[in-house]
Structure 1
Amino acid sequence: MLEDEFKGKSIVIAIPNHFGLPQRFKENLEAIGFDVLVIPDNIKNKIGFTNTLIHGYKKFIEGTKTFKREKKAELKLATQVEFLNKKNIETFDYALVIRPDMFSSELINIIKERSKIITAYQWDGLDRFPLVYSKIDLFDRFFVFDVNDLSKNEKLLPLTNFYFDDIPISKDNVDVYFVGTYMKNRIDLLLKLANKCEHLGLKTSINLNINSVEKAKKYKKEPINIITKPMSFTENIINVSKSKIILDFANDIHYGISMRTFETIGYKKKLITNNKLVKKYDFYNPNNIFVIEDEKLDGLEKFLSIPYEDLPDEINTKYSFTNWIKYVLDIQTHIPINLQK
């Protein structure tokens, strides 16, 4: 049971509307006592014919890919400011922006004027969305996911992901669980694992989001579930909490640890991953985490036969959402969250 230690404190958050993520943040923040305002991001708009032409020119002639994103953010501004003004709070105690490249600088400055402290977390590599570089100095504290980005601006601070700690652990009803989007560079390994688990008689829930009907047909006979729309964060976490073992795959465009890994810490699950970086962290335990190297599964059966080993309480606390938000908002830093290289 979480304590209402932030009761009476207010926070405004701006988070891309990916898979219900803003709502997931809101629920966990409210669970620890915050009064939360979520800036809407699911505002449908079109940049128009002229701006589409400008975007095409800038992208293909000038090599600039940020125009369309900037224009979309600008078109959302009026609705977002109107929503912000409806909240009967003159000054928020805190503000948090995830992926600030997706929000206009004007909106960030307005939120900043209404907040005592404003922080940001770019959980994609900076170079992947270079528009973010122009936003860094707008924040009091700016965190990055990729340790290789720390040298790009002296203001940047390191930060890992976390697990949401307002969802209780449930009784296991699945042996192996995975959900993800089709990626060419990991499909072969996923299928190899899925078939191995089936051969071992494990109960699996391996869910792959494929938008292409033709591509989906190719995997119709494989022991995986083809889903046609992304699963929400909340639904996925509930599924994680009901599973014994979680599958996770490194994304080549990032250098860091996914939320899936931290969920296995919080919900006391075993992990199978090809991300070697996990070995450098204080939560690594070979009885809990099986690291696939060179796509070889040698030793997997032995790993599956070993029960999960509880981690020290301080490790579970360190990577919880409650501790994460304290660190981000500079409320306390006695349990630092460090990236590894």
Structure 2
Amino acid sequence: MKILIVSSYIFGYMEYLKPALESKGITAEFVYHGKAPLDFKYKSKWHHLVAFIKKTVGFNTKMEFRDRALKSHLSHKSFDSILVIHPQYLANQTHVFLKSITNKYITFLFDSLAKMPRQMSVLHHFDTVFSYEKSDCEKHDFKFLTNFIPVSEKPTTLVKPRYDFFNISTRDERFPKLLNIAKYLKENSIKYEFLVHTKNSKEIEYVKTIKRKIESQEVNCEISQSLGMVDIQREDQTGLSFRVMESLGFEKKLLTTNKDVINYDFYNPNNILVVDLQNILIPEQFLKTPYQKLPPEIYNKYTTTAWVNTVFLEN
């Protein structure tokens, strides 16, 4: 079986699919936005300005570049399946071309339609639409599928933890919530490491700001040094983030603001605490009790192998 995955790089998370694909005998080609052949760069400030002006009248310079680059790169190729992540970043004519060189044209939505409504305008091109947002699946008849656990194999080496909770995120509308949790942890002498990616180098109390983007492999090193993780839900979606999946893969306690997590079969109140931001309270018992391993039949449902089976072999 031969497949193509066209995706944003997403800090390297898609790379975790490669071992699972290989184990199934699937030959996969990955094409990432921002990397060759889709490594678009403005030639000059003038080029950037012209592109901005063109965009106001409906001409998207980046999309046109991607269209030409993909057609040139794939003109003599064909695939059994093509998976597109972030389909809104490709023009309609690009979707038409990609669908013409495959038997199955598939997308997985990493964002809810409430967060990224412009996805909807290109979804009619696809044979199958997967989404981790339950409400979108119910309303539009998408196939429900969570994110996968971004771990190649379950960790076996024990690392002495440096802190109790870890989080890495971009500074956005979730930041005030993260700050509230950080303040609670500090006031209660609970060790934590919160890394916030921001263009502003100004120091912020309670968290550590970083300018560079950190890839998932490096994030995993930080996770391994913590007893638990923190997940802040976006207001415009309830689908489970990679933070939740990482907590399963690394067997870490999880603090989350996502109330819907209790409806999943892996939920265990010993391992996962839903935080009320209006009245933050982390019981001492939650901190002191060890992580309870998931039964294999539940854990395996969220692995990269299960995800690959669902998207490419069972679909």
Class of the TM-score when normalised by the shorter of the 2 chains: 0.7 to 0.9
How far is 1:256 from its partner?
1.7
Distance 1:247 1:35, change over 3 A: same
In structure 1, distance between residues paired with 2:284 and 2:84: 43
Task: Give the conservation status (yes or no) of the 8 Å contact 1:31–1:166.
Answer: no
Gaps spanning 5+ residues in structure 1: where? Answer: 1-8, 59-66, 334-341
Distance 1:332 1:267, change over 3 A: farther
Map 1:267-286 to 2 at 5 A: 267-286=250-269
Distance 1:271 1:53, change over 3 A: same
How far is 1:284 from its partner?
1.0
How far is 1:311 from its partner?
1.2
Please identify runs of 4+ aligned residues in structure 1 that moved more than 6 A. none
Aligned to 1:64: none
Aligned to 1:63: none
How far is 1:123 from its partner?
1.6
Task: Give the conservation status (yes or no) of the 8 Å contact 1:98–1:123.
Answer: yes
Partner amino acid, structure 2, of 1:308:
Y
Aligned to 2:131: 144
Aligned to 1:15: 7
How far is 1:313 from its partner?
0.8
In structure 2, distance between residues paired with 1:71 and 1:195: 44
Task: Give the conservation status (yes or no) of the 8 Å contact 1:19–1:232.
Answer: yes
Match of 1:312 among 276, 291, 295: 295
Match of 2:274 among 291, 294, 305: 291
Distance 1:306 1:96, change over 3 A: same
Aligned to 1:337: none
Aligned to 1:119: 106
Aligned to 2:172: 183
Give the number of aligned pairs.
Answer: 304
Partner amino acid, structure 2, of 1:205:
E
> Secondary structure of 1:176's match?
strand
Partner amino acid, structure 1, of 2:193:
S
Deviations 1:143-198 (A, max 9, x none): 123222235534x22222221241441423333211011235443x4334334444
Partner amino acid, structure 2, of 1:177:
F
TM-score, normalised via structure 2 length: 0.84
Deviations 1:21-72 (A, max 9, x none): 454444654465432211241122457655533533x6xxxxxxxx46x542
Aligned to 1:336: none
Aligned to 1:53: 53
In structure 2, distance between residues paired with 1:127 and 1:274: 18
Task: Give the conservation status (yes or no) of the 8 Å contact 1:45–1:76.
Answer: no
Distance 1:238 1:302, change over 3 A: same
Match of 1:159 among 120, 142, 145: 145
How far is 1:199 from its partner?
5.3
> Secondary structure of 2:11's match?
coil
Deviations 1:253-299 (A, max 9, x none): 21221111122122211101111111111111110011111432324
Task: Give the conservation status (yes or no) of the 8 Å contact 1:162–1:324.
Answer: yes
Aligned to 2:67: 77
Partner amino acid, structure 2, of 1:279:
I
Aligned to 2:314: 332
Deviations 1:182-229 (A, max 9, x none): 235443x4334334444555543221112113xx33x1xx34322112
Aligned to 1:134: 121
In structure 1, distance between residues paired with 2:10 and 2:210: 17
Aligned to 1:39: 31
In structure 1, distance between residues paired with 2:115 and 2:185: 35
Aligned to 1:206: 194
> Secondary structure of 2:79's match?
coil
Partner amino acid, structure 1, of 2:123:
I
Q: Percent identity?
A: 26
Distance 1:211 1:54, change over 3 A: same
| 1:230 and 2:213 are equivalent in the alignment | yes
Task: Give the conservation status (yes or no) of the 8 Å contact 2:13–2:150.
Answer: no
TM-score, normalised via structure 1 length: 0.79
In structure 2, distance between residues paired with 1:247 and 1:31: 32
